[in-house]
Every structure is written in C-alpha cells, then in structure tokens.
Amino acid sequence: MTDTTAADAGIASIAKPAAKPARPHFSSGPCAKPPGWSPEKLATASLGRSHRSKLGKNRLQYCIDLMRELLRLPETHRIGIVPGSDTGAFEMAMWTMLGARGVTTLAWESFGEGWVTDAVKQLKLEPTIVRADYGRLPDLGAVNWADDVLFTWNGTTSGVRVPDGEWIAADREGLSFADATSAVFAYDLPWDRIDVATFSWQKVLGGEGAHGVLILGPRAVERLESHTPAWPLPKVFRLVSKGALAEGVFKGETINTPSMLAVEDAIFALEWAKGLGGAEGLIARSDANAAALDAIVAERGWLGHLAAEPGIRSKTSVCLTVEGADADFIKKFAGLLEKEGAAYDVAGYRDAPPGLRIWCGATVDTADIVALGPWLDWAYAEARSA
C-alpha cells in the first residue's frame, strides 16, 4: 500500500505501486478464466467430430450433468444449451412462451431495458413496465403475479440484484423469467420460484461466449406444450415438435451446431468448480472477492457503490462511483490501469452513470482484488493531475 492515498493527495501524483494483480482480468464479460486455466488443459477428442456423434452427444450431456450438479437443480428442471449467449436464451424463452397472459417487465439496467424493447417493439405485447434508476430496485412488492414477469436477477451493468426469491409469489399464476447470467454459480438460487432461467458460460464460469443455457421448470414446459405463439418462430427458437417438448434439446441434441471447443472450455471450468466443493466453493469465492472490494471502497472517500443499499448490491458485477468523474475521466482512469497491466476492462458500462465496474466472480482471486486497491489510488491521482 502506498503511504498516501489519492483522497489524501488531492491532485498530486503518488508513487506507482510495486506489486500488480497477478491476473488483472476484471472484465464483466467475458470474465477471467478459472485459475490454472490454459488451452493445453482442455480435452480435445471431440474437436473435429460431429456434435451428433456418440462422443459429441456424451460431452454435451456431461456438460449438462455438471451444470445440474453444481447448480443443485432439481430433476423437475430441464437444461438446454442454445445459441446466442444469454441474450439468445432469454429471447428464445420470450418468443416461445409469452402471449398467453399479461406481461410485466422489470428494468433497472440496460439488459432489463432490452427485454422491455423486445416485449414492446418486437412482440407488441403492451406489457406493464416497472422501472428504477441505475443503482436502485423498483418496488418488488407491487409486482402482479397474475402476469408473466421478466427480470434480471443480478444487473450486470448496474451492480444491483434482487435480494432473494421471497418476492416471487409461491402461488403465482404467471411464469417467472429470470435473466440470471451474472447470478448463477454466485448465489444460492431458489429454483422452486424460478420457472425460466438463462445464463451464459462467459460470466461466473469464465467460459467462452456465443452459447446460452436455458433452464425450464415444469410450469414453463407446460406453457410450451399448451401455448402457440401468435408470431412466427425462427428455427433456432423452436422447442416444441408436434405439440410436445423437444426433449432432445435438453439431452445434448442442440438445435444448431455448437462449438465443441467452447463446450470443452465450459467443462474445464465446471470440473474446476466441482474441485472447489461445488456451489458452496464458488459462492464463497465470490463473497470473499466482494468483501475485499467493499473494504477498498470503505477506505476511500472518493469511491462509492452505485448500489448504495448493501442488501441489493451485486457480489459479482460490482459498480462503483468515482467522485467528480465524467465519461472522459473514467476512460482516462481505465486506460491508465490497462496500459500498466494492472487492471483490464474496468470502465463502467456505456449506458450506466460514469464509474468503474469490477468483476468479483469466482474465477477472480481475492489477492488480485486486494492488490488492485493501491492501483486505483494511483490511477485516480494520475487522471486528476493530467
């Protein structure tokens, strides 16, 4: 730690820290690879083979089985690997299941707003829209569960999460659609309250992009088999065949051709996570990282949390405010850190208020979060004195 923090030094330069984070990868997606990862450690027998071969199907099913085990997902819920990352998975769910009843969309950051746009402009559903500003949650108690309800469990671009699943009505008539891409493997999710969940490997697992994961509870399956959408469905969205769920999709028979390299990369991360003790180990690492970053923020008057209320603050995509910062200042701040190899990709999301965003998911080492603190002091002072 330097002798003088940026808060104390004002605009004066301070000494450049001697030690850097060993792995300065703090991007909120794609996120840091698991510790010890290297391409040479990936299984390669499935590469160059058909994903429909016995080997290909076995590896896809193995990936699904590992996800089920680590997520502690009940057998009532199905898991499918689908195209288009988390966005593709969530839009697949919207296009195939909405329209049977009213819809409520919740938005407190950019991805939630994306689902609002889809519902209003693409599907023309006239949903009830419940919004909150960045850093806040809307009134969850006012949600009408006669509707299908769309929400992000953990807002990647705002650093705001729902506190738990208690606000989701146990006797709901509509379906709960959770965009959980920055939440799975970092929180203990209540699967009895979630009818549809989506995520991508590139977040908490540190996997590769382009593939999404779709989780369906029994009520979602019932909806798929009983409801015919009023709009045409592209081939990559079709989950029903002859009025019944296409079960093969949830047994490794993907709708379109997956990257088996990306699948093997996800398997590596899942096996690494299993070696940590599974879900408990992943959650513990995320919690430790978030606590370390909280300590850094608490020690600096010029840093703050965009989500001021701890109970709704993300433990993965942690969004920070910087005193007096505008977009240009943040660009300069993040650029200094990247140039020094001290932190990559820490500028906040382009639609969010100017600030920093530090990924604290399980693939980041707590020691690297701790080592980041003095570099934030240095970059803040440098950016102010420039």
Q: Is the CB of residue 202 less than 8 Å from the CB of residue 158?
A: no
DSSP state of 306: S
Per-residue pLDDT, 386: 79
CATH of 39-275, one of 3.40.640.10, 3.40.50.1980, 3.40.50.300, 3.30.465.10: 3.40.640.10
Q: How far apart are CA 193 and CA 202, in angstroms?
A: 25
Tokens 């608490």 label which residue? 298
Per-residue pLDDT, 8: 47
Per-residue pLDDT, 12: 64
Q: Is the CB of residue 71 less than 8 Å from the CB of residue 276?
A: no
Q: How far apart are CA 315 and CA 294, in angstroms?
A: 10
Report domain extents, the chain.
6-35+279-385, 39-275
Q: How far apart are CA 281 and CA 255, in angstroms?
A: 32
Edge to edge, the sheet with strand 303-305 lists 303-305, 317-322, 355-359
Per-residue pLDDT, 24: 98
Q: Shortest CA distance to 204 belongs to which of 23, 70, 21?
A: 70
295-348: per-residue pLDDT in tens? 999 999 999 999 999 999 999 999 999 999 999 999 999 999 999 999 999 999
User: Where do the H-state alpha helices sit in 189-259?
Assistant: 218-226
Positive or negative CA dihedral for 18, 21, 24, 29? Answer: negative
Residues of the chain with pLDDT under 70: 1-12
CA dist list (Å): 286 to 16, 60, 70, 185, 188: 28, 27, 15, 9, 12
Q: Which two tokens stand for residue 126?
A: 């006239």
Q: How far apart are CA 329 and CA 346, in angstroms?
A: 13
Per-residue pLDDT, 7: 45
Q: Is the CB of residue 294 less than 8 Å from the CB of residue 304?
A: no
Q: How far apart are CA 275 and CA 118, in angstroms?
A: 39
CA angle (53, 57, 58) in 5-degree steps: 115
Q: How far apart are CA 125 and CA 120, in angstroms?
A: 6
Per-residue pLDDT, 10: 47
Q: How far apart are CA 17 and CA 10, in angstroms?
A: 17
Q: How many CB atoms lie within 10 A of CB 242?
A: 5
Dihedral over alpha carbons 193, 194, 195, 201 (to 10 degrees): -160
Per-residue pLDDT, 13: 75
Q: How far apart are CA 93 and CA 325, in angstroms?
A: 39
Q: How far apart are CA 121 and CA 198, in angstroms?
A: 22
Per-residue pLDDT, 91: 98
Domain boundaries 6-35+279-385, corresponding CATH code = 3.90.1150.10
